Amino acid sequence: MDALRSRRSGLIPCAFEDVDLETYIAKVEALDTYRMRPDLSAYDCRNNRLAQLCLQQDGFEDAVAASRSKYGAQRIGVFLGTSTSGILQTELAYRRLDPQTGALPPDFHYAETQNSNSLAGFVSHYLGLTGPSFVVSSACSSSAKVFANAVRMMAAGICDAAVVGGVDSLCLSTLYGFNSLGLVSRSPCRPYDAERDGISVGEGAGFVLLERASSESTSNAMLLLGIGESSDAYHMSTPHPEGLGAKMAMQRALDSAGLKAGEIDYINLHGTATKSNDASEGKAVADVFGNKVACSSTKGWTGHLLGAAGITEAIIAMLAVENNFVPGSVNTRQLDPTIAIDYRIENGEATIKRVLSNSFGFGGSNCSLVLGRQS
């Protein structure tokens, strides 16, 4: 919250491994020397280090332990998003192949690092949970969509609570991959700016413990009010130019929350700062909400956290509710005049009861969440 209020961005010039790209990244410096819990050392990779570091924040482990005592370890699900999991481990291992046989080094643990499920496996073991678990890997919508998995599992009686979230960490595949698409900015990303020229890649993590809302829930309880998912059916790496899929996701989220567009107080946009995403999302938001709802992308602070974008931005959206705070947009200087929404550059204060958070990904995978308090 301090970083949001003081507009302190995490973006720095890229200095990661031996990457030779001129760009900015958000990097968690502590990971380079971070130690995993000894009994889980097979899971050691940058992504799971980041997962463990995040699980240790804000009393989260204690909250899960209390929930485990209440429901039982087998009644708590783990549904997590990641796009690249521990692939950095494999990228580095390919530089150490046996010169004779071409074999991977013996210290390489596929299931615990590279495999996408590594994250859910690690978190389940770390937290001592044995309920249903899997990883959702739908690129940059992954850790928003996990909320829907958890809601369905609870509604079906498969579990009573769920740890949802996501983790993505820096790797060469992502940096060089986005660079090949011409989507990486050479300067810190400028969401919704007229001169925006691409993303800044970041690493990050977030977790949320979800339980069923009940009559005992206080009026102060933070609630997941609605979810909307859709598919663009348009292109693998370019959003629909008219924001068709984005519009459907937002409308479905409003419908599932039983809310009208005017009842949303703030929208945390996907706002990657690519030309195509912001133009397409901006059109969709203008169509559904007009220009009356305060909007911003917080990627100027965090960079694009990819598979962790959904969860971290859902958490920022909930902070907006808790603090009656409207985040602005770091690095954005001159708004794109062709996008007709109420985009906020400066931070502000207002009564924020309900927020919508957008996450859209490659493959045309879209998810919108509505979070807030019961009116």
Partner 1 sequence: MMRLYVEGIGLLGPGLDGWSASRSVLAGETSYVDAPTNVRASDMLPAAERRRAGVPIKLALTVGQEAFLQAGRETKTASTVFTSSGGDNDNVHAINGILATAPREVSPTRFHNSVHNAAAGYWCIAAGSHEPSTSLCAHDASFAAGLLESATQVTVDDAVVVLIAYDHPYPEPLNAVRPITAAFGMALILTPRKSEKSLASIDVDFVSGKTRESTMQDAGLETLRAGVPAARGLPLLAALASGKAAQIGIAYFDENHLTLRVTPC
User: Least distance in Å: CB of 212 to partner 1?
Assistant: 13
Cα Rg, the chain, nearest whole Å: 20
**Segment (H or E) for 76:** strand 76-81
Which residue lies nearer to partner 1 by CB, 244 or 316? 244
- Residues forming a β-bridge with 33: none
Catalytic residue (one of 14, 140, 159, 295) = 140
**Segment (H or E) for 349:** strand 348-349
Round to whole Å and give the CA distance between 356 and 141: 14
User: Least distance in Å: CB of 308 to partner 1?
Assistant: 15
Q: Is 109 one of the annotated active-site residues of the chain?
A: no
Which residue lies nearer to partner 1 by CB, 88 or 315? 88
User: Least distance in Å: CB of 356 to partner 1?
Assistant: 17
Catalytic residue (one of 54, 270, 295, 367) = 270
Is residue 109 within 8 A of residue 43, CB to CB? The reply is yes
User: Least distance in Å: CB of 109 to partner 1?
Assistant: 8
Which residue lies nearer to partner 1 by CB, 104 or 340? 104
Which residue lies nearer to partner 1 by CB, 283 or 373? 283
Q: Is 270 one of the annotated active-site residues of the chain?
A: yes
User: Least distance in Å: CB of 94 to partner 1?
Assistant: 4
CA angle 260, 145, 249 (to 5 degrees): 35
174-181: Cβ within 8 A, 24+ apart: 174/83, 174/84, 174/201, 174/306, 175/14, 175/16, 175/19, 175/21, 175/23, 175/25, 175/201, 176/19, 176/21, 179/21, 179/23, 181/237
Residues at the interface with partner 1 (CB under 8 A): 74, 83, 87, 90-91, 94-95, 97, 102-104, 108, 110-111, 115-117, 120-121, 124, 130-139, 145, 148-149, 151-153, 155-156, 158, 172-173, 176-178, 180-181, 229-237, 244-245, 248, 361-365
Tokens 């009559």 correspond to what residue? 215
Is residue 371 helix, strand or coil? strand
Is residue 290 helix, strand or coil? coil
Round to whole Å and give the CA distance between 147 and 151: 6
Which residue lies nearer to partner 1 by CB, 248 or 267? 248
Which residue lies nearer to partner 1 by CB, 34 or 234? 234
Q: Is 140 one of the annotated active-site residues of the chain?
A: yes
CB-based burial of residue 335 (10 Å sphere; 0-12 exposed, 13-18 middle, 19+ buried)? Answer: middle
Round to whole Å and give the CA distance between 121 and 129: 10
Which amino acids are annotated catalytic? 140, 270, 304
